[in-house]
């Protein structure tokens, strides 16, 4: 399963990429707004770091024509841009047009398997179920990811599942076990995965013991 960073914070993009932890970056309007920088400049900087993987950027329009216009403009910025379109009826119209033109599209804010199926049929390359936000309302987000996986496998659908709104390392390992293609997550979750107090304690112990080894 591939790991993407769900952030537009340049320092975190660089750190996660240099660690070999990520092979793509996802953003949304809320993530962009946290950086207090012009969108075009920020996106250009991210695509200059992530040259060998996808960078997801979302449209803002809610009508198909507007989404198509924005989607074309985003896709023209860099060959590795994936255009995020919200899972609404007008969005599906935009997906059909953009996908036919060769634009790579992710249908996002998915909260049901039915939405994912329609997105795949419309031509989406990725679907993004929001795992954590389902947990937030007392449902099981992992169950949704598993249901989409089951349907796509049963139907031979090649659209990739990029699980979003991932909140902790157990989400990540469970998503990997069920064969989800990608999990996108905040930098904090990547660092939670990369660190373990037992490992730190063991490394510390090795260094302390090494001090007892005669040096001459």
Q: Which stretch binds ligand G3P (CB under 6 A): 72-80, 86-94, 128-136, 146-154?
A: 128-136
Query: x-or-dash pattern for ligand G3P, window 72-111, by CB under 6 A?
Result: ----------------------------------------
The kind and range of the H/E element at 58 are strand 55-58
Work out the burial of residue 100: count CB atoms within 10 Å of its CB; fewer than 13 is exposed, 13-18 middle, 19 or more buried.
exposed
Q: Say whether residue 70 binds ligand G3P (CB under 6 A).
A: no
Residue in 53, 66, 132, 179 binding ligand G3P, rule: CB under 6 A: 132
Q: Which stretch binds ligand G3P (CB under 6 A): 8-16, 93-101, 119-127, 130-138?
A: 130-138
Could you give the CA distance from residue 140 to residue 1 in angstroms, rounded to a whole number?
Answer: 20
Query: x-or-dash pattern for ligand G3P, window 153-182, by CB under 6 A?
Result: -----------xx-----------------
Q: In 3-state terms, what secondary structure has residue 127?
A: strand
Active-site annotation holder among 2, 14, 38, 84? 84
Q: What sections of the chain are H helices per DSSP?
A: 10-18, 29-33, 39-49, 64-77, 89-100, 113-122, 131-136, 141-155, 169-177, 187-194, 197-210
Q: Say whether residue 12 binds ligand G3P (CB under 6 A).
A: no
Q: Say whether residue 26 binds ligand G3P (CB under 6 A).
A: yes
Judged by beta carbon, residue 97 or residue 125, the one nearer ligand G3P is: 125
Distances (CA, A) of 163 to 2, 127, 159: 10, 8, 13
Could you give the CA distance from residue 196 to residue 193 in angstroms, rounded to a whole number?
Answer: 8
Confirm whether 84 is a catalytic residue. Answer: yes
Contact between residue 194 and residue 19 where contact means Cβ atoms under 8 Å apart: yes
Binding site for ligand G3P (CB under 6 A): 6, 26, 28, 130, 132-133, 164-165, 184
Known catalytic residues are 84
């Amino acid at each position: 399963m591939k790991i993407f960073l769900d952030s537009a914070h340049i320092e975190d993009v660089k750190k996660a990429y240099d660690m070999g932890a990520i092979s793509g970056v996802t953003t949304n309007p809320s993530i962009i707004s946290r950086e207090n920088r012009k969108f075009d400049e920020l996106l250009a900087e991210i695509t200059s770091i992530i040259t060998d993987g996808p960078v997801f950027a979302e449209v803002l329009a809610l009508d198909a024509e507007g989404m198509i216009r924005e989607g074309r403009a985003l896709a023209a910025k860099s060959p590795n841009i994936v255009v995020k379109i919200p899972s609404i009826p007008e969005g599906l119209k935009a997906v059909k047009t953009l996908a036919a033109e060769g634009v790579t599209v992710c249908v996002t804010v998915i909260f049901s398997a039915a939405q994912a199926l329609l997105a795949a049929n419309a031509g989406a390359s990725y679907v993004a179920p929001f795992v954590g936000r389902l947990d937030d309302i007392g449902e099981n987000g992992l169950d949704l990811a598993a249901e989409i996986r089951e349907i796509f496998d049963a139907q031979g659908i090649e659209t990739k599942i990029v699980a979003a709104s991932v909140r902790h390392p157990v989400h990540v390992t469970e998503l990997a076990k069920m064969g989800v293609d990608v999990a996108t997550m905040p930098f904090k979750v990547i660092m939670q995965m990369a660190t373990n107090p037992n490992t730190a304690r063991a490394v510390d112990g090795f260094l302390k013991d090494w001090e007892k080894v005669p040096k001459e």
